[in-house]
Amino acid sequence: MIPPDPRLAAAPGGVLPTPPNRTPPKPKPNVLGIVGLVLGLAAIAAAIAAAIAAAIAADYGFVAWPLAGVGLVLAIVGTVQATRGKAGGRGIAVTAVIVTVIAALLSATMVLFPSVFGTSSAGDLHIPPTPGDEHNVDFVVTSAGGATVRYGTLNDQRTESAPASTDQWHGHGSFSGGTPILSLTADTANASVVNQISCTILVDGKTVADSSGSTIALCTANVG
């Protein structure tokens, strides 16, 4: 026989009181997710602002990169915390991840393909030269055995062939404002033949870069 519960004898009317309802504790706010979302939105705003203000995009468009990077890290950590039950706001954290990834893609596109956003207009190199531009660029290659020439900027180049000749090959361009990174590469058309190659970049008649080699010559210059 099971002995009676001694608590029944002490309770009024022999009935145990009903325990009070306990509300489960609210999860902590997902601070990292919120901060990551804010940084992601700020990165997108910086990228769009740089695209709109193309004339000065090169001066502050880079701000979007660290904002997107830091925001993405915080958003991922916030999502992990929410998944493990250490913080609430999982939806905010996941949204922050999506927003910061979009911000990073926008920033990368703006750097690799500036024409998509119009951010290259200020420091754009025009080939052939555009009348009225402030600066003229002359790309010069000498290659007695001929060479394949690539010239322009780091993210926008033309490819031509320099015929085998002791005469100089010339490529021309122009730009106004900005800080374009000029690039000129010449490599031999026949790798089995030793071919002395030289390259020179001139801006407004002044040499800003020159190089030479037996099979390849590479010239780069950050001007503006």
What b-and-e string marks burial along 138-160, b requiring 16 or more CB atoms within 10 Å of the CB?
bbbbbbebbbbbbbbbeeeeeee
Alpha-carbon distance of 153 to 222, in angstroms, equals: 10
Q: What is the pLDDT of residues 103-156, one digit of tens each?
A: 888 777 766 655 555 444 445 789 999 898 899 999 999 988 888 999 999 888
pLDDT at position 188 is 84
* Residue 217, token pair as written in the block: 């010559």
Q: pLDDT band for position 190 (50/70/90)?
A: low
Phi, psi of 2 (to 5 degrees): -80, 125
pLDDT at position 117 is 52
Q: Name the pTM for this structure.
A: 0.48
Query: Using CB atoms within 10 A of its CB, is residue 72 exposed (0-12), middle (13-18) or buried (19+)?
Result: buried
The rounded mean pLDDT for the chain is 78
Least confident of 152-156, 175-179, 181-185: 175-179
Tracing tokens 């998944």 back to the chain, one arrives at 83
